[in-house]
């Protein structure tokens, strides 16, 4: 298992550019796993595609460049992690797993603290929290 990133994107296509096989290129050229969550295609107005993509950080960065070259506007669909303190037992497993400093332990009180601004939504804590105290929220 390698460390892969999961992202959720809203792709806005200009009306003139809605016939390109974008999903194909993301999979084939950038090794991304994609999951199409919603799609609209309209001739007269801009079309959009909501995608969940999973891939290595570098591949995701390259695919973003590619999409911009195609005049496709990419918007990060914000999803956030929340820590449910009613369930959390403050064991600290998530703190060690967290690749950033979003989850930390206060070494005075030994309480687990969550700093949302540092979170890259890698989902590691969500997957492995033994009491399912980490929850995902979609903000858009």
Partner 1 sequence: MFEILPCKGHRDGVPEMRVTYNQLLKMVLEKGIKETAKQVDSVALGVFEPLENVVLSLNISGLHIKPFSAKLQNVPLYNVSSDTFILGSQTLAIDDGMNSHFPGEFAYGGAFLIEDLINRAQLDLRINGYPNDVHDKQEVRKFITNEDVDRAQLTIDVVYPQALNAYVNSTENYKFSENGVVKTNFQTVNFRSNGVLQLIYEIKEFVSEVFVAGAKGSILFGDNGYKIVGDFKEMDTLYISGLSLKGYGIYLAAGIGIVVKAENNQALIEKILSNEARAYNLFDIGIKKDVGTIPLAQLKKPTVSVNNLEVKTCSLTSIYLAQKISEKLIVS
- Chain residues in the site for partner 1 (CB under 8 A): 1-2, 89-93, 95-97, 104-105, 107, 109-112, 127-128, 130-132
Give the DSSP per-residue string, 95-138.
HHH-SSSSEEEETTTTEEEE-GGG-----HHHHH-TT--EEEEE
Collapsing DSSP to helix, strand or coil, 29 comes out as helix
Collapsing DSSP to helix, strand or coil, 17 comes out as helix
CB of 128 to partner 1, least distance (A): 5
- Tell me whether residue 80 or residue 99 sits nearer to partner 1 (CB atom): 99
- Tell me whether residue 24 or residue 85 sits nearer to partner 1 (CB atom): 85
- Tell me whether residue 74 or residue 97 sits nearer to partner 1 (CB atom): 97
Q: Which of 22, 25, 24, 30 is nearest to 59 (CA)?
A: 30
CB of 35 to partner 1, least distance (A): 18
CB of 136 to partner 1, least distance (A): 16
- Tell me whether residue 49 or residue 83 sits nearer to partner 1 (CB atom): 83
- Tell me whether residue 108 or residue 139 sits nearer to partner 1 (CB atom): 108
Q: Which of 119, 102, 128, 96 is nearest to 6 (CA)?
A: 119
CB of 71 to partner 1, least distance (A): 39
Q: Cα–Cα distance between 129 and 103 in angstroms, integer? A: 12
Q: Cα–Cα distance between 75 and 69 in angstroms, integer? A: 15
CB of 47 to partner 1, least distance (A): 36
């Amino acid at each position: 298992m390698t460390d892969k990133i999961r992202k959720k994107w809203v792709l806005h296509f200009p009306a003139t550019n809605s016939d390109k096989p974008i999903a194909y290129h993301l999979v084939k050229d950038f090794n991304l796993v994609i999951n199409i969550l919603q799609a609209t295609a309209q001739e007269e107005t801009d079309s959009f595609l909501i995608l969940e993509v999973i891939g290595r950080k570098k591949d995701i960065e390259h695919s973003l460049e590619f999409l911009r070259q195609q005049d496709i506007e990419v918007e990060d669909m914000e999803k956030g992690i929340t820590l449910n303190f009613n369930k959390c037992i403050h064991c600290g497993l998530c703190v060690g797993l967290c690749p950033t400093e979003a989850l930390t332990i206060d070494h005075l009180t030994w309480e687990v603290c969550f700093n949302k601004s540092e979170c890259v939504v890698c989902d590691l804590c969500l997957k492995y929290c033994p009491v399912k105290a980490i929850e995902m929220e979609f903000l858009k």
